[in-house]
Structure 1
Amino acid sequence: MQLNNNVTEFILLGLTQDLFRKKVVFAIFLICYLATLLGNLLIIATIKTSQTLRSPMYFFLFYLSFSDTCFSTSIAPRTIVDALLKTATITFSECIIQVFSLHFFGCLEIFILILMAADRYVAICKPLHYTTIMSRRVCSILVALAWVGSCVHSLVQIFLALSLPFCGPNVIDHFFCDLEPLLNLACSDIYVINLLLVSNSGAICTVSFVILIFSYVVILHSLRNHSAEGRRKALSTCISHITVVILFFVPCIFIYTRPATTFPMDKMISVFYTIGTPLFNPLIYTLRNTEVKNAMKKLWSKNFISDDVR
């Protein structure tokens, strides 16, 4: 399908064309990306090595940090490099790969957040059956299904992108490749493709957001029967999850549930959910979670002790 297109590469306009502002973008993105890698990889290492973080909640948190790392990596490194270039170009194949990776890891994060909500529901509302329902085997199967679902979603995005004929302008007014900006360059009627995009990405974001908010409302309502200490601990965990859900889903819903029109704030909103959310997630989960903080302290102290022995 690519051979039918006259366009072999695209020009990414990025966030700005001003040279000074491009340097600012470079510095901010580099700092945010390094902080994202540090925070998420620290959580991954902590959960992997800690003997106390073996519950399903941390099993899912491990994969959330993994998806955050990959999701940010699919966008940030190229944006950082492009900020140093006078003209940033991306080949058609690289653009398609970026669309796939962006939607794969973004969709994986959505499914992992749903699994985390399900885990909290079972833990709080059905505590006596928790170990049976959320066994390691069940959790592994759920994560595997999340990977398969994400792959299916991303393949649909690729199919939609490859079905677009590009025969004219090749300038993308964005800092990464996505189906929305690509639709504006297609030299054919995009009504059906845009409808499919909204029914795919838009529906996944909106339905998942509604399910997550409803599930946490049910969870919070059920806390009235718990002890004060139990309510405090469960409330702290749920507030962390709700914060992550709002930060990730609200921008996504704004971007993927409307016609293929461009608004001035689109780029900044995209920055928020592609760069900001993966950066905030480690902070939200570590600052509000005593068990994770204690496990991190043990990991650091263990490393310092081993260094001293050497």
Structure 2
Amino acid sequence: MEHKQILSLHKVSKRYGPIQALKSVSFNVPEGSVFGVLGPNGSGKTTLLGIIMDVLKPNAGTYKWFGLEPHADLRKRIGTLLETPNFYHYYSAVRNLQINAAIKGRGHDDIERVLKITELWERKDSKFSTFSLGMKQRLAIANALLGRPEVLLLDEPTNGLDPAGIAEIRELIRNLGQEGTTVIMASHLLDEVEKVCTHVAILKKGDLVAAGHVDEVLANEDMLEVSAANLELLETVLNAMPGLKSLRRHNGGIQVIFENGQTAEQLNRSCFEKGITLNYLAVKRKSLEARFIELTN
């Protein structure tokens, strides 16, 4: 099933004088995805977030949220954490969120829900100054979730956190994605995107290098694309094969990656022995991980 596109960019470009920060960037963010915008510092990630939040104007190109041209009312459907919000150190978590809900004009009745999602409900009456770095960042995400936005936009959400805080925030983002919130996050960490995101767009010096499903874009191993008349049966047989690392339906076929480096010939034989004749078999070679390391060094 094709997902609805939450955000579509079409040939978006941005210049700052002689510097071309973004060069004709196009990609789609599917509904319910955790979408990573990945690239080293200076690759154009923050500029891109600024444009889609209507803080910066592109020099060329267009983008649409929910299939609509950008307009002020869309802001209510998007929760953002682009820089650290101003929390009062001597006020409790609840009081800080009450103040922020008043500023936003929405989310007053949502405070208990967002504190529970971010696992801060037990500490709702604690002063902000007593929170660990990870808890402070979780409160910032709780603040962005006030008013039930459909999309959450995060810029380097684990920057400056200790390892425990990083693990907390990554877990929270994964959970939000599983519960149906579309999350768009900028990161310069390949590891983070692999662990947290379902989809990725990779930027380098303003150019889009690759975009798509994380398994596809960041796979080291060869990916095999197969199809047969009975896809259900094919999927059952593939799932039972040793060394299967990932399987997903794609464009009327199935994409698989095997840890044991199964060749196309071996896969074809295995399927045939199980009574399935493949009507399509292709090898998609992947070396993007190596390419990404080259790009970012």
Q: Tell whether the structures are fold-level matches, with TM greater than 0.5.
A: no
Structure number with higher relative contact order (C-alpha < 8 Å, ≥ 6 residues apart): 1
Greater share of residues in strand: 2
More helix by share: 1
